[in-house]
Each structure stands twice: as structure tokens, then as C-alpha cells.
């Protein structure tokens, strides 16, 4: 990964103030009441719908699509899988669907009605206004297309509408595709957590990115413009790249 933190990391610190002792502190949030926990409602887009994960309704299709890649390459950066059979997969899926500080969605193709991937809000801290967009697993049927981008747009839009101040993106530092996706969406690289965990018997360094509420309006406008039907030909190929719209949106 080529991303590096700013030489002067203090440039990333939010504006501050001075307390009664003259010490530098964060700015006051006098009216802060916390964010709202994501409700279990479907998120509707043009090409996909995010539904609260239901093993009975989504499990079979997810197993088929997420295991269509016979060599299992799309499970390389996942902490689990691939699974030898549908039963083992459904048992794992039932575990992640339970909840806790994470809320999982099935990404459903509006055209076929099939569940093609997974996405989640993770490490939800409503009191702090912070959450992670994670648990991402896109089948080959939705990668590098409108569905994946729209699913992420829907997650980000709802998070900021619910009052979250910060959305995080964390990934294996060797996962170049995930790093590119974070930067494409407008996330800012913050740091590298070295030796963050052991995954499948290997060391895992975690690359950490963030997108803040004040940055979202411009990024949201760019995503909406890119996702507009006029930006795609009849075969679904983009006419203009997201980066072009991002430049116009500030």
C-alpha cells in the first residue's frame, strides 16, 4: 500500500480551543446528544436494496453467489471462509446476524431479487457518533459495478442522516482493492495498525480510513451524480468516473 500519513500529523487534528488553564483542547459540542442507532429498516436504491440480514431469506442465495468463485479468491481477506458446505456457511451467517455492536445487511439486486453480497455497520458507538462501514463481501456479480457503489452510498447516507460524525473504513493493508475503494469514496487515510491481528494463521496489518460529517455533503453529491442513470450506457458502463464528479463537488 502506498498511502502514508501526513508528515505533520497535527494537520489532521480538528480545530481546538483553550481551556481555563490555557491548555489546547477539542472544540465544545454543547448541543451533542449522540447519534441514533441504525434502525432495522431496508435501504432502497435504484439498483439495490439493503435488507436486514435474515439467514432464512438470504442465506441460500448468499452461499451460492459468494462461493461461485471456485478457487475461493474472494475470501482471501475475510477472517473466515470459504466454507466447505452450505450448512457451515449458514451457521457462520447466523452468528454475524445476531447483532451486538454490528448490524448486517444483505445486498439485494433490485432486478433479480437475489442477495448478492453483505455489508454492515460495525463497532457502532452512538454516544460518540462513530461507526465503521465493514463486513463487506461482494460476489463477482456485483463487484466493480453500480450495485457495490450504491450499497456503500446508502450506508454512508443513512449513517450521516442519523447524526454520526465519523464513519470508519478498516481493511487488511494488503487488500489493494479495498484500499482503492476507500480512497475512491473519499475516505482519508489516517494510520496503519501494525500487527493488528492474526487472521487465518497470518499477520494482519490494518489500514484505517475515515470520512467525517463535514466532508460528506460534497462526497454525497458526487456519488449521487455518478449513480444517476444518465451516467451509464445501455450496457451499464459508466460514462464518467466518480473522480470527475468529486472534482466538481469540491
Residue 14 zone, left/alpha/beta (φ > 0; ψ -120 to 50; rest) = beta
Percent of the chain's residues with pLDDT above 90: 78
In the predicted structure, residue 226 carries a pLDDT above the cut 70: yes
Whole-number Cα distances in Å, 20 to 14, 23, 25, 30, 70: 19, 7, 10, 17, 63
* DSSP code at position 141: T
**In this structure, CATH architecture of domain 36-247:** 3-Layer(aba) Sandwich (3.40)
What's this model's pTM, rounded to 2 decimal places?
Answer: 0.92
- Average pLDDT of the residues in 53-80: 93
Residue 78 CB contacts under 8 Å (≥ 6 apart), including other chains: 137
> Which of the two residues, 182 and 9, has the higher pLDDT score?
182
At residue 132, the pLDDT reads 98
- Average pLDDT of the residues in 76-100: 93
In the predicted structure, residue 224 carries a pLDDT above the cut 60: yes
In the predicted structure, residue 112 carries a pLDDT above the cut 90: yes
Beta bridge partners, 138, equal 117
- Average pLDDT of the residues in 180-199: 96
The candidate with the shortest Cα–Cα distance to 38, out of 151, 123, 148, 109, is 123
Q: At residue 115, what are phi and psi to the nearest 5 degrees?
A: -80, 120
Cell reading at 13:
487534528
Q: What is the pLDDT of residues 227-247, one digit of tens each?
A: 999 999 998 899 999 999 998
Q: What DSSP line would sit under 169-199, residue for residue?
A: EEEETT-HHHHHHHHHHTPEEEEEEEEEEEE
- Predicted confidence band at 145 (pLDDT cuts at 50, 70, 90)? confident
Q: What is the pLDDT of residues 8-52, one digit of tens each?
A: 667 777 778 887 888 888 888 889 999 999 999 999 999 999 999
Question: Is the torsion defined by CA of 69, 123, 54, 197 positive or negative?
Answer: positive
- Predicted confidence band at 250 (pLDDT cuts at 50, 70, 90)? low
Q: Exposed, middle or buried: residue 150 (CB in 10 Å: 0-12, 13-18, 19+)?
A: buried
Residue spans of the domains in the chain: they are: 36-247
Amino acid at each position: 500500500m502506498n498511502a502514508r500519513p501526513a508528515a505533520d500529523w497535527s494537520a489532521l487534528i480538528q480545530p481546538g480551543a483553550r481551556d481555563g488553564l490555557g491548555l489546547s483542547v477539542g472544540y465544545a459540542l454543547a448541543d451533542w446528544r449522540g447519534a441514533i442507532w441504525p434502525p432495522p429498516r431496508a435501504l432502497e436504491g435504484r439498483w439495490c436494496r439493503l435488507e436486514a440480514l435474515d439467514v432464512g431469506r438470504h442465506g441460500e442465495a448468499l452461499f451460492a453467489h459468494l462461493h461461485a468463485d471456485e478457487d475461493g479468491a474472494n475470501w482471501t481477506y475475510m477472517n473466515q471462509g470459504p466454507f466447505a458446505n452450505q450448512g457451515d456457511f449458514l451457521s457462520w451467517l447466523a452468528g454475524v446476524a445476531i447483532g451486538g455492536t454490528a448490524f448486517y445487511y444483505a445486498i439485494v439486486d433490485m432486478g433479480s431479487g437475489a442477495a448478492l453480497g453483505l455489508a454492515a455497520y460495525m463497532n457502532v458507538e452512538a454516544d460518540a457518533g462513530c461507526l465503521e462501514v465493514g463486513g463487506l463481501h461482494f460476489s463477482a456479480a456485483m463487484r466493480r459495478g453500480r450495485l457495490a457503489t450504491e450499497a456503500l452510498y446508502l450506508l454512508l447516507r443513512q449513517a450521516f442522516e442519523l447524526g454520526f460524525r465519523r464513519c470508519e473504513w478498516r481493511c487488511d493493508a494488503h487488500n489493494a482493492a479495498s484500499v482503492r475503494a476507500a480512497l475512491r469514496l473519499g475516505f482519508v487515510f489516517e494510520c496503519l495498525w501494525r500487527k493488528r491481528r492474526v487472521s487465518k494463521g497470518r499477520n494482519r496489518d490494518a489500514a484505517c480510513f475515515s470520512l467525517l460529517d463535514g466532508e460528506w455533503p460534497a462526497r454525497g453529491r458526487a456519488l449521487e451524480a455518478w449513480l444517476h442513470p444518465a451516467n451509464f450506457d445501455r450496457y451499464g458502463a459508466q460514462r464518467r468516473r466518480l473522480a470527475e464528479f468529486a472534482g466538481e463537488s469540491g
